[in-house]
Amino acid sequence: MDTIKLAARVTNIRVSPSTAAAQKVRELEAEGRQILNLTVGEPDFDTPGSIKDAAIEALVAGDTKYTPVNGTLELRKAIRHDFKTRLGINCSLDQISVGGGAKQVLFVALMATVEEGDEVIIPAPYWVSYPDMVIANGGTPVIVDCGEDVGFKLTPEALEAAITPHTRWVILNSPSNPTGVAYQAEELRRLGEVLLRHPHVMVMCDEIYDRIWYADFDACSILGVMPELANQALVVNGVSKSYAMTGWRIGYGVGPRKLIDAINKLQSQMSSCPSSISQAAAANALTGDQTSVAETVGIYRERRDRAHWLINQIPGLSCRLPDGAFYLFPSCAGIIGTTTPNGKRIETDLDFVLYLLEEAGVAGVHGGAYGLEPYFRISTATSMDVIERASAQIARAVGALS
Ligand code: PLP
């Protein structure tokens, strides 16, 4: 008899759909199928050698003990410098909290502020984890549809309309996973003006992809654009994506002292601190030579351009050019209503993604997982060869639909 009773905070949430899609790929591969995997949410590059060397040095020097709860002084100084020079954000060292990945910082920030009945505004399409993070902390996600007609971005009018006395946060992700769309300074300013009129609402800015940038306007942060929001904004970033350091688990948040103190208090009871060695590596990443970032972004850009062109050649699919990150989010509206060679009607983007997996051996994630249909996400954190072959196989499979 199963006697383990799980808490509602667990039973009410899902396993991340992109993790589930990656698991399905592993299962098919284990059966001997060759799958071109476009579900991947992490760089396909290795961590640069200089960063690894910094970690080895820290290890050899005996840097193997607990660090301060909010992160080492060295890393927080590096973060403060990065925020100031790149984004024009001024903050003190005690306004920074370092955690075990941006994901953990986002989660703990919600844990520190959200209670039963509180609402968190999430523009859709969204990163799959946001709604579940809110639910796990007892809050209610308020999904605001931000379709292609508004460039997949939250408008000031839509934000204003979604705010209630129960709203605690709005979550912005720029550049976005899954669309790659980024907010321009003026757009952030207009959203910021709405927030200033509602001081009970805070903005959580997830900028984890802001160095993987292709747009011809500069990366910007709402806090750099509107310093007046200092008491209402938490800016979250980390080293996972830009420096190919997903396994090192270092992310950080910059925000008002009261919120950062609360995050630190929770962290002190959860993990005590992030890994000492990973923090030394992250400090090196932020302060060291940035050539590797420029090189990898150059490669991601070539892949983005090629994948964007190839996908747009396929009848029934259409895709916007992303400003950043390493994903494409094509519409498959032109495919809905078609019939597969086996006589199955494609009714949803999930049907289409499953058809691609079965017939083309190409794995993507359906748009419904990100709160917007009919779309699908493909990752370009894979070789050009895989992108070419996957696109050709998608084109063939689409060509077989009637
Ligand atoms: N935020 C977004 C939008 C992401 O796509 C991801 C990873 O997929 C994360 C945060 C997690 O970053 P980290 O590895 O720093 O926890």
Compute, in angstroms, the gap from residue 335 CA to the centroid of ligand 1: 30
Q: What is the pLDDT of residues 77-124, one digit of tens each?
A: 999 999 999 999 999 999 999 999 999 999 999 999 999 999 999 999
For the whole model, what pTM was predicted? 0.96
What are the distances in angstroms from CA 149 to CA 153, 308, 320? 9, 19, 11
Please tell me the chain's helix, strand, coil percentages from 3-state DSSP, rounded to the nearest 5: 45, 15, 40
Query: In degrees, to the nearest 5, what angle opens at C-alpha 226 toward C-alphas 223 and 228?
Result: 100
Q: d(Cα 177, Cα 192) in Å, to the nearest integer? A: 21
Cis status of the peptide bond prior to 256, with omega within 30 of 0: no
Ligand 1 midpoint to CA 340 (Å): 35
> Which atom of ligand 1 lies nearest, measured to the CA of 239?
15
Distance of CA 298 to the CA centre of its chain: 20
- The tens digit of pLDDT for each residue in 341-383 reads 999 999 999 999 999 999 999 999 999 999 999 999 999 999 9
Domain ranges in the chain are 8-46+292-399, 49-287
Residue of 241, 242, 377, 380 to test ligand 1 pocket, by largest number of atoms within 8 Å of CB: 241
DSSP 173: E
Task: Say if residues 18 and 145 touch (Cβ distance below 8 Å).
Answer: no
Residues in the chain: 402
Regarding beta strands 96-99 and 119-124, do their DSSP bridges make them parallel or antiparallel, or are they unpaired?
unpaired
Provide the CATH topology of domain 49-287.
Answer: Aspartate Aminotransferase; domain 2 (3.40.640)
Residue 100 Cα to ligand 1 midpoint, Å, equals 11
If we measure between CA atoms, which residue out of 362, 376, 388, 311 comes closest to residue 37?
A: 362
φ, ψ of residue 89 in degrees (nearest 5): -100, 125
Beta bridge partner(s), residue 206: 173, 236
Phi, psi of 320 (to 5 degrees): -80, 155
Indicate the SS3 state at residue 128.
Answer: coil
Cα(386)–Cα(367) distance, integer angstroms: 21
Q: What pLDDT tens digit does each residue of the chain (402 aa) get? A: 789 999 999 999 988 777 777 788 888 889 899 999 999 889 999 999 999 999 999 999 999 999 999 999 999 999 999 999 999 999 999 999 999 999 999 999 999 999 999 999 999 999 999 999 999 999 999 999 999 999 999 999 999 999 999 999 999 999 999 999 999 999 999 999 999 999 999 999 999 999 999 999 999 999 999 999 999 999 999 999 999 999 999 999 999 999 999 999 999 999 999 999 999 999 999 999 999 999 999 999 999 999 999 999 999 999 999 999 999 999 999 999 999 999 999 999 999 999 999 999 999 999 999 999 999 999 999 999 999 999 999 999 999 999
For 74-217, strand residue ranges (E) read 96-99, 119-124, 140-145, 167-173, 202-206
Helices (H), 180-234: 185-197, 222-225
Torsion angle in degrees (nearest 10) through CA of 108, 104, 170, 329: -160
Ligand 1, atom nearest to 103 Cα = 16
Q: How far is the CA of 127 from the centre of ligand 1 (A)?
A: 8
Fold of domain 8-46+292-399: Aspartate Aminotransferase, domain 1 (3.90.1150)
Q: Is the CB of 251 within 6 Å of ligand 1?
A: yes
